[in-house]
A and B are shown apart, each in its own frame.
Chain A
Amino acid sequence: MHYGSLMGEMDYKTVVNSFSAGFTFLGIKRTVFTVSGNMVMGEAEFDPVNMPEVSDEAEQELEAANFDYSEVNTYSDLSYNRLDLTLGADYSIDDETTFSAELIYINFADDEVYVYGDQTGSLYVIRAGVTFGLR
């Protein structure tokens, strides 16, 4: 048996806030400090859907079907935030030689788990090195 289609409307809302900030400080004795950061916070969700009532006839004939659509709007919920932070320092030992150090920190917080599972976690990178120059 075929009883035609049911149709409801769903509203989908996406909200994303992103902040970025940084500063550079030329310190004393040939030192340069830099800090930069970026944070993105995103959320997306459907509002609950209002599906029309299924006729008694269809509900009776299609008893194996599930007509509960109250959870459908939650299937695509997204909520996450990501922080990227970089701290750097350069120290000029002389005109030709500079020592550099950098810390990179990235954090991802998955507040609504999607099809990839919980992806919450962070990564950090510590870098250091020396630049030699010649003119």
Chain B
Amino acid sequence: MQRTIKTTLLLFVMVSLIPVSSYADDLVEYDWGIYLGSHYTGSVDYYPRAGEYYRSNFEIRPEVGLNYIGTRNDKMLKVNAFYYDDKRMYLNAEGVGGDTWSAKLSYRSFFHRTPHDLLENMTAREAVDPEHNTPGGKTTTHQDYVPGAQFGYASHQVASEAILNLIKNDENEVKLYAAHKSIIEHGDKQVISTSHCFSCHVESHRAEVDLYTHNFMGGIEGSMGPASLAYEFGYRFTESRVGASQRYFDEAQHPIQGNKKEEFGSRLIYDDTTLAVEKQPETEKYSHTAKIKTDLPFGALAGSFTHARATNKDYGLDTKSNGGVARLFSRLSRRISFVGNFSASRIKDDPYFVDLPLWREDRPGGGQDFDYTRYSSLTRTYFSGSGEVIYNPSIRYRLSLLAGYKSNKRDDFPIQDAEYETETLFGQLTVRYRPSSKFSGSMKARIEQTDNPFMTVGKLLERRMNGVEDPITGNGFVYYFQREDYKYGDATQLPTMSQQLQFQLRYRPARKWSLVGGLRVQLDKNDDLNTIDFEKTVLQPSLSTTYVVNPSWSLYGNFTHLNESLNAPLAVALFDG
């Protein structure tokens, strides 16, 4: 694939270099430039972080660049290409055939190093004698099978677009278009997986990356007088051309004594086996979109409706959605206008049945069936509507007031048929003031009040278990799954009340000097939780300046400070075993 891309690009560059042939009466102009150069890359100490997007080290490499633009009457060809190294290059080409057609082609590649988790923090063991810190008991260990490895991938992005104007005149326009974009990633990455329950054994392996994502779009747009209609079809698929990574999952046993293999093995879905980890699913998505736009006697109306279906082909799971948006613009008077925005959608995500072996099969008190159906919180009905009144008394002032409502009802969250609804009311005031050409300022204040923000419902804490309410027949032990009945406590970092304020002031002390100061303040709060009162504050002042000393000298400078603080719970369940 990579060779095909390079060959295609080379051919395109060669074709673009052919001089534009001309006829005696044609108006022909062209301009081209070629860059020939080289670069040397060096480093000090650990370079992969500083050189996250640089591939070579202690090497001299050649660079080649090309710029070309040629026109003949109303036709134009433009090519811009650069080769930095074999993993970083780009090409942009554009052709225009008068009013009839236009086409674009682009290619871009870059290399990205990804970090290597050393797993050194994945080491812990209980102390059997805390007073003398004598290690023993349950343990967490790690093993890095690729120590010192540097991971990274090259990303190749190819995009093209072609437009054919079937009708184009002052009143009517009909055009067909097609577009495509592919992202191809080659390289390697770190895969981290854990053997669990009886001992936490974390392993790090290298995995190959060979991922292909292709997008295709095509459509037709037509406008007749004040109205326009459009239809667009979209298709996307993603596939990995390498299999999943494999790892060996340890044989289950007592974490300290190393025996009782049958008992501990019966509590796990799998052990003492090699299985796939981190499988990239093959997915595809179809979409159909219809759009309409028309002028009205008092303003304009625009809307669209989209039907889409995304499929996880590995498991045959579909996510279907139908949704529409509408926007109404109305001029109420010479100085007052109204903008209404409405959006509604329905998303249905297939449930998935998880088939599990019987828990502790043939063990005393065992044999429980924990099969379950996973219902998705993505299945939801969404609606939003807002209205904004804009008052524009003169070129110096602009005032707008916006109010709106959003509803997001999840069918099966936190449990099947629960219909968890998040509702938000919001309001916003925006003021812009420009008393002179030297000074201007703007202010935006926004408030959002939310009922039932998305959260972890009833799972943060555990009540003390004095025995269990529903003990296992024939077995006096308490098992992990029985703790589920004792859980309570909600947790989220989403607010029920959010207040946001933004200021920006622009000042030009002199014709060649400008100053811009800004301030963003945000206060988020959620005191509806039954665990903690969540608070988050954000303070972000900024200052920038530009100064053109004279036609030969110009300077700029920016400073931004971000100060963000929030609180979070730390919850620990106290139990042995």
Contact = CB atoms under 8 A, between A and B. Distances in A.
B555 interface: yes
B18 interface: no
A126 B562 contact: no
Contact of B556 (A5, A23, A51): A23
Given A18-B559, A66-B126, A117 B54 contact: no
Contacts of A125: 39-42, 54
A100 B37 CA distance: 9
A128 B38 contact: yes
B115 interface: yes
A116 B118 contact: yes
Interface string A1-37: 1111111111111111111111111110000000000
Contact of B553 (A2, A25, A128): A25
Contact of A9 (B30, B556, B567): B567
Interface in B44-64: 44-51, 54, 57, 63
A122 B51 CA distance: 8
B574 to A, nearest CB: 4
Interface of B: 30-51, 54, 57, 63, 65, 115-121, 126-128, 130, 136-137, 460-465, 478, 483, 486, 489, 531-532, 551-576
A1 B576 contact: yes
Nearest to B533: A9
A7 B565 CA distance: 20
18 contacts: A5-B574, A7-B569, A9-B532, A10-B568, A10-B570, A17-B559, A22-B555, A23-B555, A25-B552, A51-B572, A106-B51, A119-B49, A123-B54, A124-B43, A125-B42, A126-B39, A131-B34, A133-B33
Given A2-B462, A123-B54, A133-B33, 9 more contacts: A6-B572, A116-B49, A117-B120, A121-B50, A124-B43, A125-B41, A126-B42, A127-B37, A135-B31
Contact of A64 (B65, B136, B532): B136
A4 B461 CA distance: 8
A5 B63 contact: no
The 10 residue pairs across chains A and B that have the minimum distance between CB atoms: A129-B37, A121-B45, A4-B464, A121-B46, A119-B49, A123-B51, A133-B33, A2-B465, A2-B575, A3-B574
Contact of B571 (A6, A110, A126): A6
Contacts of B489: 5, 7
B40 A7 contact: no
Give the secondary structure class of B's interface.
Answer: strand
Nearest to A96: B33
Contacts of A120: 45-46
Contact of B574 (A4, A82, A110, A117): A4
Contacts of B551: 26
A130 interface: yes
A3 to B, nearest CB: 4
Nearest to B566: A12
Given A12-B568, A66-B130, A115-B120, A2 B483 contact: yes
Nearest to A128: B37
Contacts of A21: 555-558
Give the secondary structure class of A's interface.
Answer: strand
A123 B52 CA distance: 10
A54 interface: yes
B563 to A, nearest CB: 5
Nearest to A37: B557
A69 B460 CA distance: 18
A13 B570 contact: no
Interface residues on A, range: 35 or more
Contacts, number: 230
A47 to B, nearest CB: 9
B558 A19 contact: yes
A65 B126 contact: yes
Contacts of A1: 575-576
A92 interface: no
A65 B118 CA distance: 26
Interface in A30-70: 49, 51, 54, 58, 61-66, 69
A119 B563 CA distance: 24
Contact of B44 (A115, A122, A133): A122
Given A4-B461, A117-B118, A123-B50, A9 B37 contact: no
A72 B570 contact: yes
Contacts of A13: 563-565
A30 B465 CA distance: 82
Nearest to A72: B570
A74 to B, nearest CB: 11
Contacts of B461: 4-5, 7
Contact of A17 (B126, B127, B137, B560): B560
A108 interface: yes
A118 interface: yes
B50 A107 contact: yes
B552 A123 contact: no
A2 B568 CA distance: 24
B573 A4 contact: yes
Identify the interface centre among A27, A110, A122: most chain B CB within 10 Å of its CB. A122
B292 to A, nearest CB: 44
Contacts of B121: 75, 115
B573 to A, nearest CB: 5
A122 B566 contact: no
A87 B441 CA distance: 35
B288 to A, nearest CB: 43
